[in-house]
Structure 1
Amino acid sequence: MIWTYAALALLAPSAHALLRFSCSQLVIERLDPLVNPGALQSPHLHQIIGGNAFNATMDPSVAPSDLATCTTCTFSEDFSNYWTAVLFFRARNGTFKRVPVKGNSGFESSQGGMTVYYTPTLRGTAKVTAFKKGFRMIVGNPTYRTEAEAKRFRQLTYTCLENILTRTGETLDFPKKPCKAGIMVNVRFPTCWDGVNLDSPDHMSHVAYPASGTFESNGPCPSTHPVKIPQLFYEVIFDTSKFNDQSLWPADGSQPFVWSFGDATGYGNHGDYVFGWKGDALQKAMDSNCNINCPQLKTQSIAAGNKCAQKQKVKEDIDSWLPELPGGMPVQ
């Protein structure tokens, strides 16, 4: 699908080049092959997008593109998996209702999912090294409940959408007021790699933020992580509009939304990634400095991406009014 830069300039990060594309929802279930490999149900619920090779166990020596038969992403050579937690509304009576996800601007026909960005270069001319087969990482920590903890990670934020084009006023915690067009969750990953390890025990130590400045200001990588990698960035829009009647909110006026891992603050925002692009497609796109559209890559329609889906490995009710969060996660 072709997008004009003029139509999307306000939506994209400030950059000389980037990929911006839609990935529809693949499945919503309690699976996490990074933190809980092999477990048929992980402690909390995730929404997953990308290739249909997603499973409880994902062998890093096997390329997802060798196993997947379809992807929910509009760049059809991308069989990666991307996932975040799921947002719930907590009613005054203590029951929970899953908040649906809606398509971003330009991707309104997407069935949930998220918008994914890969940004190769900014104000400098240095090239980036695309992720390799077997690469995976996590950013954020679901146990964090304070602003000081959340600040250990850069740019994990929320945007209270006045309309679908709102891109200002990011906060580290959940918005305190009703958001007319929903809450957008922003997940930006570190942009420096140690150049050796495709993963690490905590799924974080092999990557790092710039030693000073930010990726956007072309900050240098630390000596321990000298290899520049693309900035991977998720935008997920939770359609909170049906819960905007403040008579439904807590009597004390506090905000009513809770992450599926029991966080009512928002400071536990986090995201997971398993690389799965076919061959050297991503490196080719990064080297070409594609700007939203990328003729070097194969594409499919959003409608085709919507057809790629998985059933829950373990069937679980996630859409009724629930007496507790899936997995019995406590709110704390």
Structure 2
Amino acid sequence: MSIRLRALAAAAAALATLVGVQIAHAADDPPHAAYQEMHADCTVNHMLSDDPIVFPGQAGASHNHTFIGNPATNASSTPQSLVGGATSCEDSLDASGYWFPTLFQDGVALTPDKPVVYYKSGVKDYRTVQPFPAGFKLLVGDARNMDPAAFAGNWKCPGYTGATFPASCPDGSSLVVRLQAPSCWDGVHLDSADHKSYMAYPVKGVCPADHPVPLPMLETKIPYPMHNGNTAGLTLASGPAYTFHYDFMNGWDPARQAYLVDYCIHGGRQCNGYGVDPKKP
């Protein structure tokens, strides 16, 4: 074989190898999906100065919280006590407790309209997301935060997005707060002294080595209707707008949650609060 033919053969072999590698990588990549999520669509059912994660068993020890999900959630609640209970969420098998600091306006507690807790994929390969384990608890955000720049979420109404309350909102609009949770678990702990360190945020769509297990990425969407657009006198029970935080105590029926994670998140769907994606059944 001539030198030229040998060179062509080597180039062809190299190209075949490259194509094979590309095909292998393509097979490892998740198929494109515009959404990979499920919703907890719940209504407010009570307000209490309780926090069963930060102040377990200490009724009245916390600042005031607004609760959605399991109506029995109080200072003495545990994940085990919530499972199988009642719920204000559309999915009757989600008896989880969700709570966040109550928003006041001139001293009057405001009730949000149709809060949503999204369960999304925080990692590129959404097929690897695992359900929350039984007994899981999580605190997202910091009630003691005094730096607006350190707030990881935002408050938003038409024409405004920021860490503080806006001067006003358009008449008839709602002021919405959003905050995403870390979604990478260490695979061992269900809680910790700070209620946070066993979780971490993904880095470029991948969980870090010390928190290797991807769980659903929670994100709150809590809308407060603003009458006449008036935002004067707003304050959280925890303090300024950038002290917003929320807690989650897993009360899901395990089989139901596992099904929804597989069907909605792994399946690349946008499921509503009943676990249905009308556009991709």
Superposed pair shares fold, TM > 0.5: yes
Aligned partner of 1:281 among 228, 232, 256: 256
* 1:125 positional shift: 4.7
TM superposition shift of 1:33: 0.4
Partner of 2:155: 158
Within 5 Å, give how 1:23-62 maps onto structure 2: 23-60=42-79, 62=80
| CA deviation map 1:207-241 (0-9, x unaligned) | 1111x33xxxxx21111101111111111111222
Name the structure 1 match of 2:4.
none
Distance (whole Å) between structure 2 residues aligned to residue 294 and residue 235 of structure 1? 14
Pair 1:177 & 2:168 matched: yes
2:83 maps to: 65
Cα distance change on mapping 1:132 and 1:124 into 2, 3 Å: closer
Task: Report the counterpart of residue 145 of structure 1 in structure 2.
Answer: 146
The answer for the alignment partner of 1:19 in structure 2 is: 38
Per-residue CA distance 1:293-313 (angstroms, 9 max, x = gap)? 479959xxxxxxxxxxxxxxx
Preserved contact between residue 127 and residue 287 of structure 1 (Cα < 8 Å): no
How far does residue 121 in structure 1 lie from its aligned partner after superposition? 6.8
- Among 91, 96, 114, the alignment partner of 1:80 is 96
SS in 2 for 1:286: helix
Map of 1:124 onto structure 2:
125
212, 219, 222: which is aligned to 1:233? Answer: 219
Q: Provide structure 2 residue ranges, at least 5 long, that are not aligned to the other structure.
A: 1-32, 277-281
Q: Identity over aligned residues, as a percent?
A: 28
CA–CA distance in structure 2, aligned partners of residues 242 and 40 of structure 1: 36
Task: Determine the C-alpha separation between the residues in 1 that align with 2:248 and 2:63.
Answer: 17
- Which amino acid in 2 is paired with 1:206? Y
Distance in 2 separating the partners of 1:137 and 1:232 = 10
Q: Structure 2-normalised TM-score? A: 0.77
Which SS does the other structure have where 2:257 is aligned? helix
Determine whether 1:197 maps to 2:189: yes
Q: Which residue does 2:28 correspond to in 1? A: none
Identify the residue that residue 109 of structure 2 maps to in structure 1. 98
Aligned residues: 240
Contact 2:48/2:74 (<8 A) preserved: no
Q: Which has the larger radius of gyration?
A: 2
Aligned AA for 2:46?
Answer: V
- 1:260 and 2:246 aligned: no
Q: Distance in 1 between matches of 2:53 and 2:136?
A: 11
- After superposition, the C-alpha distances for 1:32-77 in whole angstroms (9 at most, x for unaligned) are 10111111213311110112331211234x25224x1x21000111
Shift of 1:178: 2.8
Which runs of no fewer than 5 residues in structure 1 stay unpaired?
Answer: 1-13, 91-95, 104-113, 163-168, 214-218, 250-255, 299-332
Residues 294 and 182 (structure 1 numbering): CA distance in 2 closer, same or farther, change over 3 Å?
A: closer
SS in 2 for 1:289: helix
The separation in 2 between residues aligned to 1:204 and 1:278, in whole angstroms, is 23
Mapped to 1, the partners of 2:36 and 2:166 lie a distance apart of: 30
Residue 179 of structure 1: how far off its partner (Å) = 4.2
Does the 8 Å contact 1:179/1:241 carry over to 2? Answer: no
| Cα pair 2:124 2:206 within 8 Å, conserved | no
Aligned equivalents of 1:19, 1:33: Cα separation in 2? 25
Q: Distance in 2 between matches of 1:157 and 1:259?
A: 14
Letter in 2 for 1:200: S
Offset, 1:277: 0.6
